[in-house]
Structure 1
Amino acid sequence: MIIYVRVTFDSRRIELATRLSIEEKNWSQQKQCAVGDTKEAREINKELSIVRADILKHYNRMIALDRPITAELLKNEYLGTRETEHSLIEALNYYYNRFKEKVEIGKKAANTLKCIHTTNEKIKSFIKYRYKVSDMNLSEVKTSFVTELEHYLTTKDKLSNNSAMKYIHTFKRIIKFAVDQEWMEKNPTAQFRCIYNPPDRERLTMAEIMSLYHKDLSPRLSEVRDVFVFCCFTGFSYVDVYKLTADNIVPGIDGGKWIIKDRQKTKTNERVPLLPIPLEILDRYKKDLYCETKGCLLPVNSNQCYNAYLKEIAAICDIKKHLTTHIARHTFATTITLENDVPIETVSQMLGHKNIKSTQLYAKVTDKKISNNMLELKNKLASFSGRPAETKISSK
């Protein structure tokens, strides 16, 4: 006789034919196994144990993925007769490879590709932890997936809120891509909003900048200091100042020298009029052997050396803040421009931001800015009553 496996769920019953057969006299209906100590009996019982374990594995997987379960659906899952569809890992890899192709021809940033790779690795770790699977169908990605992912990243992975949001934002883009490819009927992540905590961004005061600029340093540290101060007065990131050439300097609408280039990160245009100090720095390296050989404007070290030297410079100048190219960008946005009444729209354009929201994270409204703005208002109001004007707070 042929051995069948019977599956009962919610009073519904289905049967699965196995490839096993046995003489009826060698089968125990009560124990549901072959009897006797023969090789055939042992092999049949071993195969039946595997079948039971396999069905149970599929059942547990369906529960973990919060999928509807019926006897028929469980049968289809076990037999592998579900409609073929795209998987989550397939979507992650496909999106990564497509993006990589654009990086290779210079249309996308390599750092963004690294973020996508890290995101993919975190998603793989998450589904193994939460769902006990190495992959899952895209149809099994529900709305709850993202909230569970956020919880995992901030508790098990111990990431900060903003780091978790960065990876979730990337994941949302991948899922939207899958929807656009018609791999999914709807976007289960659409309702999840990435909410970032405003970062406490450090910046240098004008007094600290000038202390750096006028400090007597060794040639090795002087070069790094000059690049850093240049960034403070232009807002350029490390990768963008690294790639500056003479071709980026053009006559501006005001007749002065401007630097115009596309940001490496976003490909948006940065247009920055050069102030006296950055012009002075550029002039200092016109005949520099390294710059002439490399065809660059400034002698920019590797990022690792650059940050190490900045730490050394900060100690020499008794500056307690952690000096990086990022702090230079924040200094440009706040100390150099915003505190000197440059409109935030102009600051945004010079920083190469796509929207004002990004600039607002960089440009911190300081007490000095608030005080000076209110002082202007006070003086305007005082002019109506004939009172003497007050003086603005100077940069410190």
Structure 2
Amino acid sequence: MSTHLSILFTVKRSKISSKGLVPIHLRVTVDGKRLEITTGRFIEPEKWCTESGKVKGRSADVREINTYLDILRSRIYAIQKDLIQSGEIISVEEIRNKLTGIEDSKKLLLLIFSDHNLKMEQLIGNEYAKGTLVRYKSCCRHLKNFLRFKYNLSDIDISKVNLEFINNFEHYLRTKDENPCSNNSAVKYIKNLSKVIRICLANEWLNRDPLIGYKSKYTEVNRKFLDEAELRKIELKEFNIERIEIVRDMFVFSCYTGLSFIDVRNLTADHIGVGIDGRKWIFTARQKTKISSHIPLLDKAEKILLKYKDYPMGGYRAKKLLPIPANQKMNSYLKEVADLCGITKELTFHIARHTFATTVTLSNGVSIESVSKMLGHKSIKTTQIYAKIMDRKVSDEMDSLGDLLNKKEKSLRGIS
């Protein structure tokens, strides 16, 4: 006897929330009997497309929801297939039991990944930064495309994820037709995937770690920084445009504190205290790593804080100490700062942090241990990258000195 099954996604406009969002419901019909459950996803009513049964738009959030709906649809068809193969009766009750009975259902990679991302999204600003979520969503999207490209699947049982799968995914990332990933980007995406795999191992959904035997490493990137002369140029330059002057000041503040963009943006009076030497210090924890960072407040940084002490900042930024613009605007304006100061290096806000580590501290005799603590690094190995930069700088300067001494030697021989 044939069984007719239909799947439909709808929105419940009668259940609009105080935030103006409506829930997306899943409706499964088997031979006229209906099962309807919520998907746990909410959207603005005008973004729903009734014809396609999907959310309209191309934003990352929209793609995540539509991917989740596709996964649910695939899951139901997989349940139907399992019931047929096992000779069981296909009914809305059986589908409900298998769909909601987590312990009895197959564990699908993208479904687990999407659930991880949803939980991460709920902790933005608390345990995670928005940029971290963006990277995990991007990884999930790459996995979805990879499954379609390599296996013609919308999802895959986590038990089938092995070392071959991992290596194939990495190869896909490096060679895909549209925007192939660099070595470091590919390795980062595998690292994102490894977190989801650890969740599966912890829940005993996997019997063996598929990453055992996987080998790949980051390519060391030469970190740019400003030398003393370049930093001095930026500090002394007078600007007639206020927004450019503010951006310069924020950049210089970071050069003398080592704080990242987000940590400068979040700085409040609560982060300023008195250190063991009786002077003002910055006491904070890096948003990225949650590692404590204690930084003596140098005079040049303190002068910038005093300069903007009474600067008007309303709304949610009223308690912040500095009027730093959004990161994208910041880096755009920094290009103008570089042009006006005659600096050819591509200036980004993160270069300020590198400059603090090299030109301001290490080159002036501050120990690498102290620099590591001020930067809030988890491991001193991270800070040693800057020490290598300084060694390279010494090597280059000694090469120049060698050339100069050789020229003097030749000149002396010519005179004699």
Q: TM-score higher than 0.5 here?
A: yes
Hey, what does 1:304 align to over in structure 2?
Answer: 328
Letter in 1 for 2:230: E
Q: In 2 relative to 1, CA 236–191 (structure 1 residues): closer, same or farther, beyond 3 Å?
A: same
Indicate the structure (1 or 2) with the bigger Cα radius of gyration: 1
1:278 aligned to 2:298? no
- How far apart are residue 197 of structure 1 and its match? 0.2
Instruction: Map 1:147-158 onto structure 2 (within 5 A).
Output: 147-156=167-176, 157-158=179-180
For residue 256 of structure 2, give the secondary structure of its aligned residue in structure 1. Answer: helix
Instruction: Map 1:77-92 onto structure 2 (within 5 A).
Output: 79-81=84-86, 84-92=105-113
- Could you give the per-residue CA deviations for residues 177-210 of structure 1, whole angstroms, max 9, x where no partner exists? 1111111111111332340000121100011111
For residue 290 of structure 1, give the secondary structure of its aligned residue in structure 2. Answer: coil
Q: Distance in 1 between matches of 2:112 and 2:270?
A: 41
Q: In 2 relative to 1, CA 234–81 (structure 1 residues): closer, same or farther, beyond 3 Å?
A: farther
Match of 2:251 among 228, 237, 245: 228
Q: TM-score, normalised by structure 2?
A: 0.67
Letter in 2 for 1:103: I
Q: Distance in 2 between matches of 1:371 and 1:118?
A: 40
Which stretch of the first structure deviates more once superposed, 286-295 or 185-194? 286-295
For residue 261 of structure 1, give the secondary structure of its aligned residue in structure 2. Answer: strand
Q: Which runs of 5+ in 1 are unaligned?
A: 1-17, 20-75, 374-396
Q: In 2 relative to 1, CA 200–206 (structure 1 residues): closer, same or farther, beyond 3 Å?
A: same
Hey, what does 2:160 align to over in structure 1?
Answer: 140
For residue 253 of structure 1, give the secondary structure of its aligned residue in structure 2. Answer: coil
CA root-mean-square deviation: 2.5
Query: Which protein has greater RCO, CA pairs closer than 8 Å, 6+ apart?
Result: 1
Q: Distance in 1 between matches of 2:287 and 2:378?
A: 13
Instruction: Map 1:1-396 onto structure 2 (within 5 A).
Output: 79-81=84-86, 84-103=105-124, 106-156=126-176, 157-218=179-240, 219-290=242-313, 294-362=318-386, 364-369=389-394
CA contact (8 A) 2:334 2:349 kept: no
Letter in 2 for 1:278: A
- How far apart are residue 322 of structure 1 and its match? 1.2
Hey, what does 1:30 align to over in structure 2?
Answer: none
Q: Distance in 1 between matches of 2:256 and 2:170?
A: 38
Q: In 2 relative to 1, CA 145–123 (structure 1 residues): closer, same or farther, beyond 3 Å?
A: same
Q: Distance in 1 between matches of 2:84 and 2:383?
A: 55
Q: In 2 relative to 1, CA 248–167 (structure 1 residues): closer, same or farther, beyond 3 Å?
A: same
CA contact (8 A) 1:269 1:352 kept: yes
- Could you give the per-residue CA deviations for residues 307-337 of structure 1, whole angstroms, max 9, x where no partner exists? 1211111000010111111111111111111
- Could you give the per-residue CA deviations for residues 238-262 of structure 1, whole angstroms, max 9, x where no partner exists? 1110111111110011111111111
Q: Distance in 2 between matches of 1:298 and 1:145?
A: 48
Q: In 2 relative to 1, CA 130–78 (structure 1 residues): closer, same or farther, beyond 3 Å?
A: farther
CA contact (8 A) 1:169 1:194 kept: no
For residue 103 of structure 1, give the secondary structure of its aligned residue in structure 2. Answer: coil
Q: Which runs of 5+ in 2 are unaligned?
A: 3-80, 88-103, 399-416
CA contact (8 A) 2:330 2:349 kept: no
Letter in 1 for 2:367: P
Q: Distance in 1 between matches of 2:396 and 2:180?
A: 39
- How far apart are residue 110 of structure 1 and its match? 2.1
Moved over 6 A (4+): none
CA contact (8 A) 1:263 1:270 kept: yes
For residue 272 of structure 1, give the secondary structure of its aligned residue in structure 2. Answer: strand
Q: In 2 relative to 1, CA 361–124 (structure 1 residues): closer, same or farther, beyond 3 Å?
A: farther
Hey, what does 1:57 align to over in structure 2?
Answer: none
Hey, what does 2:56 align to over in structure 1?
Answer: none
CA contact (8 A) 1:242 1:298 kept: yes
CA contact (8 A) 2:369 2:380 kept: yes
Letter in 2 for 1:98: K
Q: Distance in 2 between matches of 1:174 and 1:361?
A: 29
Q: In 2 relative to 1, CA 347–291 (structure 1 residues): closer, same or farther, beyond 3 Å?
A: farther
Q: Distance in 1 between matches of 2:188 and 2:385?
A: 15
Letter in 2 for 1:320: T
Which stretch of the first structure deviates more once superposed, 294-303 or 360-369? 360-369
Q: Distance in 2 between matches of 1:329 and 1:340?
A: 16
- Could you give the per-residue CA deviations for residues 190-235 of structure 1, whole angstroms, max 9, x where no partner exists? 3323400001211000111111000011222111101001101111
Q: Distance in 2 between matches of 1:294 and 1:358?
A: 34
Letter in 1 for 2:327: N
Q: TM-score, normalised by structure 1?
A: 0.70
Q: Distance in 1 between matches of 2:311 and 2:385?
A: 36
Q: Distance in 2 between matches of 1:216 and 1:281?
A: 15
